[in-house]
Structure 1
């Protein structure tokens, strides 16, 4: 008998319309940006958004990290498996975001702020690298009162899995706390993504407060370095960071997984209930096939969660993550391929086990 996954996953993040363009490194230097980084826009970055439109033939793409992830999850699962929460404006850009979600059959539960425009994110692509600058606007107005309303909290009650990005610490830490505690008290699965180095650096207290409730923590190599510094782990080795974070105090007895990707390099997985660290190889993609890396991390989580929610073994979850990320990096922007998406696991996909 197939699992009933209706409403099984709820996600929270900032729904943003991406302004994506291929640029030169000089533009990064002009705005003091780093490749493969993600920051919040300050006043000095505001002209950048129009510059991308005027001079770099920018494309407008539906974005927002968790909304990208949930679109991918929904494409791989039965209809009505996931619902996304976030705040948008009452404008054309919000309609574009909803249309992209509708196309993937992802249900959205937006809080609409008629006073602010829908948020945007500048995506500056340089070769195989990308730099993100987010202007949250309406997204930063999301308020706990929205999800706590009975008709919306019903989605939280129904779900069994939750995914929230670290970006949301800057918006509604009260929402994160409430959902994390609900998951813990009802033996459900609470997952988060570090999302960007600045999250660990500037929201260290909130990360430490939330970590005991996190059952699965996702991140990448630059976020691993930031976590190591913020949490004073005494090492920058990604395998040791994964294991030490996995072993930090937990609320309850459920084990914690820490999953750290490294782009085209291997993915590192540590668990609080295992002494070994698992290292999974990533299948290479040729330069001819490569589009850009934008959205690859979101797609990895989508592939992983699509199998984890079906109670598949860890090896299959990681393989699905790598597979879906590989599909996305063959596109331009955080886009999934047209047509039906179907993950077919291999018979021999496993990790190497390494002792620290």
Structure 2
């Protein structure tokens, strides 16, 4: 198996801890090559943060919906004739490289969001979290939700999600940043963001502060930037100041793979934020969730958490 993964990394020129969109040359990764020799898990970024969803077989869409409902997650998917999207995850050593085939996810229409039964869910919510990956599909949908949140003084959050989002979707990303109350990302994404905006710094703390200072177009709530750095401290920038929070140390022999760690961190963070807990508790919960995920293969977790 290790030889296969190394060959895939070499053949497709993949980078560790990276995420890219699938091109024609990557098509064998999504179906024949992986299905014949590897375990296939399917999920997406925002689903990861709500609940870890694992699935096998070919009825991906039906399985994802069934598993989500079983987990208590209320999903209102847009259904399209295109195949459900897939994501090839290559784990080399302990690091993962993602190659996403959006497929049906790339077909989302804002009309689905505007349906009365779906928009009613938006109106009832108090917190909104959207993965940056959605900027490649329907930025108008993001702006519709962002405007709603801002006009009603609700909390709107996003994730930088991947370096290529910051690099190739810079303009649409910049349009939504004034609405963002909490922005998540990792150190690689933060440095890419800094580079494309000409800030000429790779210092994660400086970048976090600069993002916080990006003008907010609405409301009086100040932006909070939360940046993870793998085994290094989490950087939280708020109100012109930076705080560093240590992560949970893990012996190397217990590290299985880093797939889903970022989404797990956000899920733990949000679990406390919605309860009104202080930022320290939010980060602590995020670190706990990420620590659990990296000790397991893929995006899986124990039946019950023991977080206190």
* Global fold match (TM > 0.5): yes
> Does the aligned pair in 1 maintain the 2:146–2:176 contact within 8 Å?
yes
Q: Which residue of 2 aligns with 1:58?
A: 38
Q: Aligned residue for 2:185?
A: 219
**Normalized against structure 2, the TM-score is what?**
0.94
SS of equivalent residue, structure 1 residue 236: coil
1:191-237 deviation digits (Å, cap 9, x = unpaired): 00000000010111111110000000000011011110122222110
Kindly provide the CA deviation profile for residues 149-207 of structure 1, in whole angstroms up to 9, marking residues without a partner as x: 11110000000000101100111101000000100000000000000000010111111
- Structure 1 portions without partners, runs of 5+: 1-19, 75-90, 345-356
Bigger relative contact order, structure 1 or 2, given CA contacts below 8 A and separation 6+? 1
Equivalent of 2:242 in 263, 277, 280: 277
1:216/1:51 CA distance change after superposition, 3 Å: same
SS of residue paired to 1:258: strand
Distance in 2, matches of 1:176 and 1:231, equals 22
Secondary structure of the equivalent of 1:110?
A: coil
Hey, which of these two has a bigger chunk of strand by percent? 1
Distance in 2, matches of 1:308 and 1:22, equals 43
1:188 counterpart (154, 174, 192):
154
Structure 2: where are the runs of 5+ without partners?
none
Q: Which residue of 2 aligns with 1:69?
A: 49
Is 1:156 aligned to residue 136 of structure 2? no
> Residues 100 and 62 from structure 1, CA distance in 2 versus in 1: closer, same or farther, beyond 3 angstroms?
farther
* Matched-pair contact (CA < 8 Å) for 1:62–1:100: no
- Asked if 1:28 corresponds to 2:9, the answer is yes
- Work out whether 1:107 is the aligned partner of 2:77: no
The answer to whether 1:37 aligns with 2:18 is yes
Quote the residue 2:141 is aligned against. Answer: 175
The Cα of 1:99 is off from its aligned counterpart by 2.6
Whole-angstrom distance in 2 between the partners of 1:69 and 1:21: 29
Question: How far off its partner does 1:342 sit?
Answer: 4.3
Detail structure 1 runs of 4+ shifted over 4 Å in the superposition.
20-23
Q: Which residue does 1:255 correspond to in 2? A: 222
* C-alpha contact (below 8 Å) 2:126/2:155 kept by paired residues: yes
- Quote the Cα distance in structure 1 between the aligned partners of 2:123 and 2:196: 33
Is the contact made by 1:166 and 1:192 (CA closer than 8 Å) also made in structure 2? yes
User: For residues 1-356 of structure 1, what are the structure 2 equivalents within 5 Å?
Assistant: 23-49=4-30, 50-54=32-36, 57-71=37-51, 92-113=59-80, 115-251=81-217, 252-271=219-238, 273=239, 275-337=240-302, 339-344=303-308
Aligned 8 A contact 2:34 2:40 in 1:
no
Is the contact between residue 266 and residue 279 of structure 1 (CA under 8 Å) also seen in structure 2? yes
> Hey, which of these two has a bigger chunk of helix by percent?
2
Change (3 A) 1:298 1:242: same
The alignment of Structure 1 onto Structure 2 pairs a total of residues equal to: 302
Do the aligned partners of 1:142 and 1:172 also contact (CA within 8 Å) in 2?
yes
Distance 1:340 1:333 in 2: 17
Query: CA, structure 1 residues 180+23, in 2 after alignment: closer, same or farther (shift >3 Å)?
Result: farther
Tell me the TM-score normalised to structure 1 length.
0.82
Kindly state the Cα deviation for residue 21 of structure 1 after the two structures are TM-superposed. 8.8
The 2-side partners of 1:94 and 1:160 are apart by: 28
- Three-state SS of the structure 2 residue aligned to 1:190 is strand
Post-superposition offset of 1:25: 3.0
